[in-house]
Structure 1
Amino acid sequence: MGLVAALLFGLGLQFGRWQERKAAEETPRVVAADERPLSKNDNTTSEASTIQVHVAGAVERPGVYELKNGARVNEAVALAGLLPDADPNALNLAAPLMDGQQVVVPRRGEVAAAGYTGLPGASAAGATTGGVKSGGKININTAGLAELDGLPGIGPTLAQRIIDYRNQKGPFRTIEDLQNVSGIGPSRFNEIKDLITVY
């Protein structure tokens, strides 16, 4: 009887190890910055099968993660693990990720970037403070509804349109791209162009 129990225990242990190995193979690995191979054709394209995103802020394992192209913010956050005081609901967890993006998970009580979760090169401070850059300009790629609403001529309806636009089309490349949002024409843009930025 003892031999049968030992045999069953051994088989169960082997099966558990096999499951762990399989799960590890399926989980996207953390990619160190100096580990990424460089080539002359290192341009990111929409056809790329994987993307790399930087997860920072209130997470257990901050770093660069490699995910499948088309992954969502919630997938990157789940891989990094949340700290007890994290506030993931301050982010748009359903937003699609792009290569080179930074996702900063705020702590409860911090002002988070609404709608968009960070851009290549965006600082953690810029992302967790809702996109106010030093110099007082509003980052239209990370600013929340209240900050956009505070701009001259931009009420809550237009502020929501800006957030919806960047969620659907991706980040603004230049401040002039803001004019692609319905309701923001040249005259309204001229009122706010000195108060906004992108990064």
Structure 2
Amino acid sequence: MPVWLRLRCGLEPRTLAALAVVLVASGAFAAAHFWSARPHSVRAPDPVTEAARVRTPPPAAEGPGAAEPSNGPGPAAGPGGHVVVDVGGKVRRPGVRRLPSGARVTDALRAAGGVREGTDLTSLNRARVLVDGEQIVVGAVPGAPAPGGAGGTGTGGGGAGGGGSPPAQPVSLNTATAGQLETLPGVGPVLAQHIVDYRAQHGGFRSVDELREVNGIGDRRFADLRPLVGP
């Protein structure tokens, strides 16, 4: 730097060098800020295609081959959500059938190959929910004792309610259906259903004395039923 300039400004060389460094740094910072603030090109977003739309699940299949909606489990379901019933009488393929819980008598008849031609089903309640372990005898004579003793039920012929003759063998409270319970003296459709409901709610009868706790059974009726039933 010329001597005359240093004398005029009254600055020492060291001070001038520091000032020069500050000016250079300020210029570099201003250039970097200007460069970063310059406008940038922005890419437009891609249009939404049909594949990106949310697809609603297809409606359930309808028609003869579609499964009918279930009305919930029956009053007594077996392990694994199934019931095992014995279908006999005038059916094409009698035997033991395993059906989903909530299945009805008509489902058991279909699983057994259907009813033989000419069989009278007037007294058969095909809409009744199946109970695990029951026996369905199609075409049984009304009022006749069911085959198999206490374990069977003459569903095809219908049981006499309330005033029927007492069964030859004790009726099992844990396996008998409402139709079979109606063959007991003094037991009608309503009381038979109460017994079935109690069995389903409490997991079965552990003793005959629990029959006292069923709605509609007093001391006198219990005394009449005690020698005719078993757990």
Q: What is the TM-score with the length of structure 1 in the denominator?
A: 0.51
Indicate the residue corresponding to 1:134 in structure 2. Answer: 168
Task: Check if 1:187 corresponds to 2:220.
Answer: yes
In 2, Cα distance between equivalents of 1:120 and 1:193: 17
Listed as ranges, the matches of 1:1-199 within 5 Å are: 48-80=80-112, 81-107=114-140, 109-111=141-143, 122-123=151-152, 130=159, 133-134=167-168, 141=176, 142-143=179-180, 145=182, 147-148=183-184, 151=185, 154=186, 159-170=188-199, 173=205, 174-194=207-227, 196-198=228-230
Larger relative contact order (Cα-Cα within 8 Å, sequence gap ≥ 6): 1
> Over residues 117-164 of structure 1, what are the superposed CA-to-partner deviations in whole Å (9 max), with x where a residue is unaligned?
9999714779969495435x567734365x44xx3xx3xxx6232222
In 1, Cα distance between equivalents of 2:147 and 2:195: 12
Count of equivalent residues = 144
**Greater gyration radius:** 2
Among all aligned residue pairs of Structure 1 and Structure 2, give the percentage whose two residues are the same amino acid.
25
Matching residue's letter, 2:95: G
1:69: how far off? 1.9
Matching residue's letter, 1:94: A
Whether contact under 8 Å (1:126, 1:132) holds in the other structure is: no
Q: What is the TM-score with the length of structure 2 in the denominator?
A: 0.46
Whether contact under 8 Å (2:90, 2:116) holds in the other structure is: yes
Indicate the residue corresponding to 2:20 in structure 1. Answer: none
Whether contact under 8 Å (1:100, 1:120) holds in the other structure is: no
Matching residue's letter, 1:72: R
1:84: how far off? 2.5
Greater share of helix: 1
Aligned residues: CA RMSD: 4.3
1:77: how far off? 1.2
SS at match of 1:164: helix
In 2, Cα distance between equivalents of 1:72 and 1:193: 30
SS at match of 1:83: coil
Structure 2, unaligned runs of 5 or more: 1-64, 68-75, 160-164
In 2, Cα distance between equivalents of 1:198 and 1:126: 21
| C-alpha spacing 1:134/1:125, structure 2 compared with 1 (3 Å) | farther
Indicate the residue corresponding to 1:37 in structure 2. Answer: none
Whether contact under 8 Å (2:151, 2:172) holds in the other structure is: no
SS at match of 1:165: helix
In 2, Cα distance between equivalents of 1:76 and 1:69: 12
